[in-house]
Amino acid sequence: MNITKTFITQLEQYINRVQSHYESIVKLISDAALLIGEQNIQLQQTVMIKEFWYIFAQLDEWINQGKIISQKLIEVNIIQYQQQQIIELSIQEEKNLKENVNLLNEFIENLEFLSGAQLLDINYVNPPENQVAFNKEYGIQKLDFENKCRNIIGYQRVRGDGNCFYTSFFYQYLKILLQNSRQNNRIHEFINKVNKLNLILFFNGQSLIKTQNEIEIKQYFNQVIQELLQNNSKLLEYFSKSNKIFYVCSITIFRNIVRSIYEEQKNKISNFLDGDLYEEIVTWSKECNTNQAIIQLLSQELNFQVNLYFFRRDGIDLEIYNQNQDLYQINLLFRPGHYQIAICQNPYVNCHQISYQQNN
């Protein structure tokens, strides 16, 4: 019991005690008045009698004011108690968050140790570079630029850690969802989908995610998404090398989104596969050797158009998946062994296209 509550209790006890005496006096006066009336006794209005009635009226007012003050103190104490509860809850949440972050750090350190990723001191997604840098990086000739790359005005380097396809795709996917969160409900549908996922992740055949890890990954990821909904310009910062927790949570979650879509829709692409892709999808730092088939499934299930710029030794192919000019578009650069992000000048591709279509 706090000091304020103790004081309120004592005050109420005093007020009740005074009120009890007051009511006893009122009864005595009433009985006396009745007796006086029956015996026709006449009392003179002396100064002392007038003073008694004045004090008596003040006593009644004191009791009423005391009750009002007591009630106000109770209300103030409730507010203070609620505020204290909020502060204590906030402290506990911060403590829980720190504990979760510590556990996530242990999970990530173990993952990096197993995969050797701690040796790569570069951002997961880097800031945009201009068209000149893109041309130099990919050795673009004038004819290629005019025909198939004319919409590309730059690119973003992506860390080559075996997760580059998932990083390149998910970064753009998340960016589109965040930038359009006020125009549609897709970001909330995405969050609901994430919360329902059963997270699975392997490395060298070893299962890496326990139940508590799954809870922590989802909680941390959702916390950052809520922050990004308030300021989506911070997305690139969260894909920098200093935010490995968010990166690991993101790629773990996206690999599992891909897994769930693959498990539900793999019959659509089974004729084009040499084997089951499940192990490749749920293994950390393992690229899928049949990403074109996965892109086809993702583009249809997530309802995006995906433009894949495929850099071969003898030229460039532009493959369009789920082609529809009304859809948001994800642009990927692929050179065998590595994916990066293409920055295009407009959402629609108005050039020679090679459509990648599968028969259902």
Distance between CA atoms of residues 207 and 213, nearest Å? 12
Distance between CA atoms of residues 315 and 155, nearest Å? 19
Query: What pLDDT sits at residue 64?
Result: 75
Which SS3 state, helix, strand or coil, does residue 269 take?
Answer: coil
DSSP 213-239: HHHHHHHHHHHHHHHHHH-GGGHHHHT
DSSP state of 3: H
pTM of the model: 0.69
Residues 6 or more apart whose Cβ sits within 8 Å of residue 54: none
**Tens of pLDDT along the chain (360 residues)?**
466 667 667 767 766 777 776 677 666 666 566 655 555 555 555 555 566 666 666 666 766 776 777 777 777 666 666 666 666 666 655 555 555 566 677 777 767 666 665 546 789 999 999 999 998 999 887 666 667 888 899 999 999 989 999 999 999 999 999 999 888 789 999 999 999 999 999 988 888 888 788 988 999 999 999 999 999 999 999 999 888 889 999 999 999 999 999 999 888 877 777 788 899 999 999 887 678 889 999 999 999 999 999 998 888 899 999 999 899 999 999 998 899 999 998 654 433 333 333 333
Please choose, from the candidates 215, 208, 200, the residue with its C-alpha nearest in 3D space to the C-alpha of residue 100.
215
Beta bridge partners of 220: none
CATH number of 122-355: 3.90.70.80
Query: What pLDDT sits at residue 38?
Result: 55
Query: What pLDDT sits at residue 32?
Result: 60
